């Protein structure tokens, strides 16, 4: 299937959306809220955990929360029914788990420290926004 197995939802026009579509929706929503260094990593050949990771950086705790809320809202508008949110109010790292797409919203220091992109090496296909 193109872009992995479909997530259980349909667009308003009835077209089935795939994980790659949801990764793009999440990345564009992050861009709406001025996230920095937005990347989509295709990891489906490297791990059974997810097909795509979206990683972005926010500059403050309020921006991180706004990014999380906005991305979740945009995904729900596209019909995603099940989104699991990890991260606390005072956390500098939020995770939105859609199953085959995982969105990491990180503060600058957390992004520098954990270097998620480096974990996947050059084997993960990266799309930049």
Per-residue three-class SS string for the chain: CCCCCCCCCECCCCCECCHHHHHHHHHHHHHHCCCEEEEEEECCCCCCCCCEEEEEEECCHHHHHHHHHHHHHHHHHCCCCCCEEECCCCCCEEEEECCCEEEEEEEHHHHHHHCHHHHHHHHCEEEEC
Higher pLDDT, 112 or 12: 112
Domain assignment present for residue 11? The answer is no
Q: What confidence tens digit (pLDDT) does each residue in 17-64 have?
A: 999 999 999 999 999 999 999 999 999 988 999 999 999 999 999 999
Q: Percent of the chain beyond pLDDT 70? A: 86
Q: State the total domains in the chain.
A: 1
Range of the domain at 89: 19-128
What is the pTM (predicted TM-score) of this model?
Answer: 0.86
Q: Residue 109 is part of a domain; what is its CATH number? A: 3.30.460.10
129 pLDDT band, cuts 50/70/90, is low
Q: Which residues pair with 102 in a beta bridge?
A: 53, 97
Residue 11 has pLDDT above 70, yes or no: no
Domain assignment present for residue 35? The answer is yes
Q: For position 2, what pLDDT does the model report?
A: 45
């Amino acid at each position: 299937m193109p872009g992995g197995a479909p997530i259980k939802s349909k667009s308003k026009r009835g077209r089935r959306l795939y994980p790659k579509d949801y990764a793009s929706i999440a990345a564009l929503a992050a861009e709406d809220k001025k996230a920095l260094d937005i990347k989509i990593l295709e990891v489906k050949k490297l791990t059974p955990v997810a097909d795509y990771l979206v990683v972005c950086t926010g500059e403050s705790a309020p921006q991180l929360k706004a990014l999380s809320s906005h991305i979740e809202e945009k995904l729900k508008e596209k019909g995603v029914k099940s989104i699991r949110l990890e991260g606390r109010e005072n956390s500098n790292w939020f995770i939105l788990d859609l199953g085959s797409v995982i969105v990491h919203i990180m503060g600058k220091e957390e992004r520098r420290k954990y270097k998620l992109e480096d974990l996947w090496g050059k084997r993960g296909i990266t799309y930049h926004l």
